[in-house]
Structure 1
Amino acid sequence: MQNLLRKSVYSQFNPPYQQCNICCEEVSTHDLMSITTKCNHKICRACINRYINKQLNEKGNVKIECFVNRCNFLMGYEDMKRVASKDLFERYEYLSFREAIRQMPDFRWCHNQKCGSGQEHLEREISPIMICIACGKINCFTHDVIWHAGRTCTEYEVEKNTIDGATRAAIERDTKTCPRCGIRIYKYGEKVFLILR
């Protein structure tokens, strides 16, 4: 009887351990969690959070799938709330909100890198010029870029279809100007690349 009592007390304060299928570390069974409620693939909390961090912060992906054995069930809002750290969950909510807004056909983000605001532009059929209500920067609704000064949308489209124009459009779309030196930069994850023309 005394041995059973000792085992009961021992197991209560020393939970059983199991190996995580990703990092191969022995972790408490309390730290093994299913990635989604739709599947039973259990991974340690640290591995799940590393995976979520990579998807959100390096890839900007909010549609996060279970990656065990190519399961591909999507993590839902409640799954994310259950397994993600507080910081990752806040990042997920922020990116999910931006993704939902981006789906609105009349919505555009301001391309002033210091602004970060966006708005609906209901006059898109009448005028492609969209003036940001937060900072006053002029954007082109049609091409989703800073306004192409000195050119109409048609002229911009023709220029964009040349090799030089396509290169310039890609640089303007995918890079930002460094606030210190003015050189165009491209950020991928934690790495920053200089764009030299």
Structure 2
Amino acid sequence: MNFECSYEREGQCSICSEVNIRLVNLSKKCAHLSNCCVACLTQSFATDIESKGSYTFRCPMPTCTVKFEPEEYYCLLDARLMGIVDNLLLHRLLETNEEFRWCKSTKGCGAGQLVCNYKDLLGYYTCHACGQMLCFRHSIEWHKGFTCDEFEAERARNDDLASDVTVLAFTKKCPNEACGTPIMKHEGCDVMTCCRFGSHTCAESKDACDHGGRNYCGQRFCWSCLGKIDLDKKTNGFIRHCKSSCKYYSLN
């Protein structure tokens, strides 16, 4: 594989411990000696893209805070992974447009659209994929019976309504038909688990997690479209079942 890097040398890879191997720095911003081999960097990026839908990567050196630009790590990706990252970066760009909204249907949809005439609307629009009526201002399902101004006034007066809105905005039900437990998400990637912590990285938490147990079923799912995510027992990778309207559909 031929590509330009800011610095390379031969030595021992800090990840796989292989000796006398080509070590590289992908970014010119990295001030330290190169310590990772191409194979380990490639595998790390591929795993994060396919399992988490990641498109931002930091230098693997613990003391380095450099974030790689796409043009710096694209050389390590095959055509399929580049297509996935291109799609994710496009969605990130769309999210900066004030006219763009993701469908927030509690039933799970994952579609996005530009609502170009939002200033002329009565406050709501319809998802092109699932038909759900959605509030443009609040990015939730349409609050029937209230205009947006009335809804905000009522929410200010009614603590229960304010709490319900928070739950609606940050909580979705587990897609496992036999479970349906509400799971809340505040941060992290869109791979969720029906467990105490919600995130698929809950095993790294210092607190004990039953990862299922009496109140949770342990089902992994996509937060965007509620598509189930199974674990490939052979490769330990994810098998996604995202809906065709979901921004992560290309990871299926």
Compute the TM-score of the two structures, normalised by the length of structure 2. 0.56
TM-superposed deviation, 1:163? 4.4
Report the Cα distance in structure 2 between the residues aligned to 1:85 and 1:136, rounded to whole angstroms: 36
**Equivalent residue, structure 2, for 1:172:** 168
CA distance in 1, matches of 2:44, 2:12: 17
Where does structure 1 lack aligned partners over 5 or more consecutive residues?
Answer: 1-15
Contact 1:37 / 1:79 at 8 angstroms: preserved in 2? Answer: no
Structure 1 residue 61, shift from structure 2 partner: 5.5
| Max Rg structure | 1
Task: Give the structure with the higher percent helix.
Answer: 1
Residues 1:121 and 2:100 are matched in the alignment: no
Bigger RCO of structures 1 and 2 (CA < 8 A, at least 6 apart) = 2
1:143 counterpart = 2:135: no
Match of 2:34 in 1: 41
- Tell me the percent identity: 27
How far, CA to CA, are the matches of 1:26 and 1:165 in structure 2? Answer: 58
Q: Per-residue deviation at 1:153? A: 1.2
Match in the other structure for 2:70: 77
How big is each residue's C-alpha offset from its partner over 1:13-48, in whole Å with a ceiling of 9 and x where there is no partner?
A: xxx973223x36125524x33232543634133256
Deviations 1:83-140 (A, max 9, x none): 3466654443332121111011111111235432221112222322111122211111
Q: 1:1-197 counterparts in 2 under 5 A?
A: 18-21=11-14, 23=15, 25-27=17-19, 29-30=21-22, 32-39=23-30, 41-44=34-37, 45-46=39-40, 49-50=43-44, 53-54=47-48, 62-68=55-61, 70-84=63-77, 89-112=82-105, 113-127=107-121, 128-161=123-156, 163-179=159-175, 180=177, 181-186=179-184, 189=191, 191-193=193-195
Q: How many residues align?
A: 178
Consecutive unaligned residues in structure 2, runs of 5 or more: 1-8, 199-214, 216-252
